[in-house]
C-alpha cells in the first residue's frame, strides 16, 4: 500500500510540476506575445449601413424617405 501512495504522490507532483511550468511559460516567457494579442483584441466600431428604403402609399407617393439623420 505504501508503494501505491508513493506512486500516486509522484504522479500528482509531476502533474502539478507540468502545470506550474505551463503557467511560467505563459506568464513570464510569452508575456509580450499575450500582451500584444490583448491590445489587438479590443472592441472597435464597425459602421453598419442600415438603409430602410422609401415607404409609398397606394398611389405611389413617397410617405417616408430614407434620410441619414445624424
> What global pTM score does this model have?
0.50
Give the three-state DSSP class for 69: coil
Domain ranges in the chain are 1-41
Residue-by-residue pLDDT tens, the chain, 70 positions: 899 999 999 999 999 999 999 999 999 999 999 888 888 888 778 888 877 788 999 999 999 888 777 6
Amino acid at each position: 500500500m505504501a508503494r501505491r501512495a508513493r506512486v500516486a504522490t509522484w504522479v500528482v507532483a509531476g502533474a502539478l510540476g507540468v502545470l506550474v511550468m505551463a503557467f511560467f511559460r505563459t506568464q513570464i516567457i510569452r508575456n509580450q506575445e499575450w500582451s500584444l494579442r490583448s491590445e489587438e483584441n479590443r472592441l472597435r466600431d464597425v459602421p453598419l449601413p442600415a438603409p430602410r428604403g422609401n415607404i409609398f402609399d397606394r398611389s405611389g407617393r413617397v410617405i417616408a424617405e430614407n434620410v441619414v439623420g445624424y
